[in-house]
Amino acid sequence: MRALKPKLSSRTGSGSSRPRIRACPGLDPGSGVSTSGIQCHASHGLRVGARNDKQSWDCSWKVLRLACLFWLSLLATLSSAAGQQQVSFASLDGTPIKAWLFQPPEQARGTVLALHGCGGLYARAGTRQGQLNARHQAMADMLLAQGYAVLFPDSLSSRGLTQICTQKIGSRSITQTERRHDTLAGMNWVAAQPWANSSRVALLGWSHGGSAVLAATDAKQAQVVAQTVKPRVAIAFYPGCSAARKTGYQPNTQLVMLLGALDDWTPPGPCVALGKEVRAEVHVYADGYHDFDNPLGVVKLRTDVPNGVHPGQGVHAGPNPEAREQAYARVRELLRAAFD
């Protein structure tokens, strides 16, 4: 029987050059997951423990970090000027959900619901403490620059929590059921706004929020079937896909997954398999760990996270600038195709 192939893109940027493709490192060759048809992007991000030309890498990271800090500060100011405000709506389970809305100066070309991961929306330390963390702010800035409105629902602090990353998956009080409720209600809220076009809505999420993208687009769920507002495209950065595979997930819209080949928190293998099963578009970024699109920091081992490929041994998370730029370019392409 011929394996189903996911829908693939031939470009990752606005230019005509094709991405460099190679075998997907980080996918266990013994797992039985075929990588045929999956787009694997080469990159040159710093690997954990890399020793080659360490001084040069250290210098490059410091310069890059300073540049990112400057631009994030500037763009955050522009974002506020563009129209950042706190709003609220009732989740489908009745929970009052607060959210942050960013609107461009002109009529929005469409609206993106951006769904946070297990760490919540906000930075918990440093100069950005209490504000959107760097990953979320960077995405808001990029989407605003493209003329899109962005809504960040806050599923955690609306329920009295700041993060659930350090909780074992089986003991979490906020599951994908709550995230689906919040996401569907968020789309309904957008559709009711006079400035919004209810037919131009997209979903985007990271990690636990990437799994929420799957939960809110599962055509086998009665609440999803009943939903009148449907996203044009659903984009998931490094989601957990094992649960979706077990329940027979079927997307109700175009699904695109952006994965790190070296991710040991939410490993790419199950999502690659899911992509083949449901004909989704799958991109795997070489040298990419969890959180590869974060504009700040370095790859670190988080020993406080009890989940992942090796429970109890911690997980790695941190940026890969090249993978981030390739992923951002694909997000821009997808939204242009969905809304224009």
Is residue 282 domain-resident? yes
Is residue 25 domain-resident? no
Is residue 16 domain-resident? no
Is residue 93 domain-resident? yes
Domain count, the chain: 1
Q: β-strand 300-302 against 315-317: which pairing, if any?
A: antiparallel
pLDDT in tens, 213-264: 999 999 999 999 999 999 999 999 999 999 999 999 999 999 999 999 999 9
d(CA 24, CA 21): 9
pLDDT in tens, 262-293: 999 999 999 999 999 999 999 999 999 999 99
pLDDT at residue 43, as a whole number? 61
Contact predicate 94/108, CB 8 Å: no
Give me the mean pLDDT over the 15-38 stretch: 48
pLDDT at residue 35 is higher than 80: no
pLDDT, mean over the chain: 85
Q: Whole domain around residue 108: which residue ranges?
A: 52-339
Is residue 3 domain-resident? no
Is residue 37 domain-resident? no
pLDDT in tens, 66-85: 555 555 555 444 444 457 99
Burial of 235 (0-12, 13-18, 19+ CB in 10 A): buried
Is residue 174 domain-resident? yes
User: Which CATH number does the domain housing residue 203 bear?
Assistant: 3.40.50.1820
Is residue 44 domain-resident? no
